Structures are given as structure tokens and as C-alpha cells.
Amino acid sequence: MSPTERRATAGLAGIYGLRMLGLFLILPVFAVYAERLPGGENHTLIGLALGIYGLSQALLQLPFGMASDRIGRKRVIYFGLVLFALGSFMAAAADDIYMVIVGRTIQGAGAINAALTALLADLTREEHRTKAMAVVGGTIGLTFAVSLVLGPALYHLISIPGIFAMTGVLALLAVLAIKFIVPNPKASHFHSDAEVVPAGLLSVLRDRELGRLNFGIFALHVVQMAMFVVVPFALRNTGNLDANHHWQVYLPVLAISVMLMLPLIFYGERKARVKPVFIGSIALMLAMQLAFIPAIDHFWGVVTVLTFYFVAFNVLEASLPSLVSKIAPASAKGTALGVYNTCQSLGLFVGGVAGGLLSNYFGTGAVFAFGAVLIGVWLYLAYGMKTPPAIKNLMFHINTLNAEEARRLERELSGVKGVAEATVIADEGVAYLKVDRRYFDEQALRRLLPSA
């Protein structure tokens, strides 16, 4: 990667991380704080305050991405960051649960993830874009892990209003970072691998294999958000552990879960056993939802189940976007990921509302029973999935071609040994390929792509 690409990747990964901080930092402690607010005695409203962020994200992230094609990437990002800051400051100043809900709604309305992805695509060459996206994905995962430990510590120092105010200030600083640190693209144009093609939405929605994965990310985040409505109370009530010290649970739990998760990921990828590892992780998630029902009243039971829950969660969270990229048609990868991200945000909303509603009226056991049913449906759907192909996605810049030349090049690329799918988009000057890493003849490909 060139210095400009590294600078763009680092800067935009940082902005992505900031967006996730707005959601993740409050997760481990918000329910305990919100219970003391006027209206917070109703756990339905606590769940709504947690989850409403996801609803406004889901509704607006695709429109914001499309708007960035028309009015400019950075303008949309500036607008979204200001909205996020406004919502953060409103939530910080709230003196009842209702104003927190309003603030969280506005926070989520700053839905700039699609615009950030498009800007990253503008600033990176095709052959380096996958690496740049991987850095962003790693940043989001790291932000989640750090937030579960840092959130309780910050709660002790500045409480939830202080966390909201801090994220608002960081959002305004991010505006300056976008202005002065992230380079301006020489030209902005559409990228099929990173943006949604409206005409292709219907075909992506009809794809059964992608549908299984979209349901999966929805269910995974329903369960995650519902859990954080009730687990903070369980840690407080069963372990006499105030919210300031919940990091003492999450730090070892996350450390152990990551140590157990990494060998599973490596085994699945290196031994072409992705599907068994994936199905096994869903089964483990189901078992942990059921285990939470008796364990929720026992401190060490909660800690033990949390550990294995995060093993399953981390494997699935890492595997799902990779599977979407492998299964989606090369020309519709951006559309498939856009639908996937929307389903994830909807899961956050439904999980918060369902967790609050069920715990308020039926008790904590009902939260995990609901989660078990949802994960059980996912396990049934995932069991019938096709074995994911052992392929790698590649992109190459190509010289300007007319439509006929593009189709001819596409046929020639499809004939290269190990190429499972080739799509040439003349308007973008890009060749998208899916290649079988075991048989791929890279030298033959390079001879067809002298400009690559």
C-alpha cells in the first residue's frame, strides 16, 4: 500500500471505531444506570434506548451511501458525524429515559458507514482494497473488546452522561480528522465491491444462501443486545459486583474466549472445514442460550456461560462477512454486504426491544428462551447451507475497454485455471474474480491483465 493508502486506511478505520464506540462503550453498564432514571424502572424502555440506535442505522445507512455518490463522500460524512455528536450531547443531557431514547435515535441517524466504505474504496487501489477493509473489520472487533473492559472503568470516572459527552466530542474531532488527515480522492466513482447497486437488491434478497447468512447476523445481534439488557443486573445481583467493576469479569472472559476462538478459525480455514466450524459455533451459541436460563442466578454460572458464549460469538462474527464475500456474485459484493449490514443493525434494534420487553413482563429466563428459539431456527437454516467454496476474491484495474472487449476479456479470464468466476465491468475499469487458491494459475492471469 502507498503512504496515501495507509493514511486513508488508518484514518477511516479510526472513524469506524469511533462509530462503534457510540454503541459498544455503554453496553456493559447502561442497563444498571438507566434503571435509576425516571421511566427506567420499565425495562422495555431500557431495551428500546439500547436498540433504537440500530433502527435508525438500518433505515439510513443505505440512503446515506447512495447520497454520497451524488453530493460527495465527505459532505455526507460531515453531516453524519454532526448528527452523531448532536445525539450524543442530547443523551448526555437527558434527565429521563425518554430523552435518552431521542438522543440514541439521533446518534444512530448519523449512519455514515456506507459513505465511509465508499470513500475508502475511492482512496485505495483495487488490489489493496481487501487489505484496507480487513483493517477496518479488525478495528471494529478490537473496539468491541476494548469497550467491554473500558466501559465500566469510564462509568466509574464519568458515568453514562460523561461517556455520551465524550463520544460527542470525539465525533466533532473526527470531522477535523476527515478534513485534514484523510486525503481527498482524486475522483469519486461507483465501486461494485463496496457500494449497493439498487438494481441488484432484488436478486441479492432472493439468494437463499445469502438469506441464511443475513438471518444469521440478524439473530446473532438480537441475542447479543438482549443479553446486555439483563446480564449487567445478573452480575450485580449474584456477585455483589457494582457496574464500575464489571470489567473484572469481561477482561478474563474475553481473553479466554479469544484464545479458544482463534484455533477454531485457523482450523476451519486451513483444513477447508469452514462449514463444520460454523455449524458447531451456532450449536454452541444455542447451548449457551439454554445454559443461561439456570445459570443467570449464579455468579460463576454467568461467568462460565459468558465465556463460551463469546467463543461462539467471536467465531460467528468473524466468519459471517467472509462467507458473504465468498458466496455473493463478484459484481454484487457491495450490495450483498449492504443488505448484511442492514440486517445486523435491525438485529440490534429487535434485540434491545425484545430483551427489555421479555425481561420486564416475563423475567430473564424468557429472554434466553427467545434467544434459544431464534438461534435454533438459524441452526436449522445453516445446516442446509452449501459448503462454502475455498475461494479468494481478487480485483484488478484494467485498461479502458468497450462493452464487447469487456465481454471477451471476461470469457478469457473465466478460462484461466482456478478462476471460479470472472466479471469485468468496463465502466469501472475493474475485473472482479473469485479464484480457487488450490489451483489458481496467477501467471496465466497476469498475462491477460498486463495493466494489473
pLDDT at 451 over 60: no
**Are 382 and 418 spatial neighbours (Cβ–Cβ below 8 Å)?**
no
Can you give the pLDDT at residue 124?
Answer: 84
Q: Point out the domain boundary residue: 388, 409, 430.
A: 388
In the predicted model, is pLDDT for residue 248 greater than 60?
yes
- Separation CA 387–CA 442 (nearest Å): 25
pLDDT average, residue stretch 150-156: 91
**Same structural domain for residues 223 and 150?**
no
My answer on whether 354 and 395 are in the same domain is no
Give the CATH number, domain containing residue 324. Answer: 1.20.1250.20
Q: How many CB atoms lie within 10 A of CB 153?
A: 14
Predicted confidence (pLDDT) at residue 450 exceeds the cutoff of 70: no
Determine the average pLDDT of the residues in 130-151. Answer: 85
Of these ranges, 115-119, 290-294, 323-327, the one predicted with the greatest mean pLDDT is 290-294
Model confidence at 128, in pLDDT bands (50, 70, 90)? confident
Task: Note the helical H segments in 97-207.
Answer: 97-109, 113-123, 126-180, 201-206
102 and 131 part of one domain: yes
- Residue at grid coordinates 471477451: 408
Last residue of a domain, one of 175, 195, 215: 195
In this predicted structure, which of 87-91, 240-244, 281-285, 305-309 has the lowest mean pLDDT? 240-244
Task: Find the mean pLDDT for residues 257-282.
Answer: 89
| 76 and 189, same domain (yes or no) | yes
- What is d(CA 30, CA 46) in angstroms, rounded to the nearest whole number? 8
Give the whole-number percent of the chain exceeding pLDDT 90: 51
Number of domains making up the chain = 3
What pTM was estimated for this model as a whole?
0.90
Question: What range does the domain containing 433 cover?
Answer: 391-448
The SS3 call for residue 4 is helix
Give the pLDDT of residue 155. Answer: 92
H or E element that contains 32: helix 30-34
What is the full DSSP assignment across 242-284? -GGGTHHHHHHHHHHHHHHHHHHHHHHHHTT-HHHHHHHHHHH
- Are residue 36 and residue 85 in the same domain, yes or no? yes
Same domain flag for 98 and 220? no
Is the per-residue pLDDT at 273 higher than 70? yes
Report CA-CA distances (Å) from 62 to 16, 86, 187, 197, 336.
16, 21, 21, 10, 12
Query: Do 154 and 8 sit in the same domain of this protein?
Result: yes
Do residues 196 and 65 touch, judged by C-beta distance below 8 A?
yes
What per-residue confidence (pLDDT) applies to 435?
Answer: 81
State the chain's mean pLDDT as an integer.
88
250, 369: one domain: yes
| Predicted local confidence at residue 285, as pLDDT | 97
66 and 19 fall within a common domain: yes
pLDDT tens track for 340-363: 999 999 999 999 999 999 999 999
320 & 434 share domain: no
Is residue 340 domain-shared with residue 412, that is, in the same domain? Answer: no
> In terms of domains, do 427 and 302 share one?
no
Predicted confidence (pLDDT) at residue 452 exceeds the cutoff of 60: no
10-61 tens-digit pLDDT: 888 888 887 777 778 899 999 999 999 999 999 999 999 999 999 999 999 8
- The CATH code of the domain that includes 403 is 3.30.70.100
Question: Which residue among 388, 412, 430 closes a domain?
Answer: 388
Q: Which residues lie below 8 Å from residue 448, measured CB to CB, with a gap of 6+?
A: 409, 412, 413, 416
pLDDT tens across 393-443, in order? 777 777 777 778 778 888 888 888 888 888 887 777 788 888 877 777 777
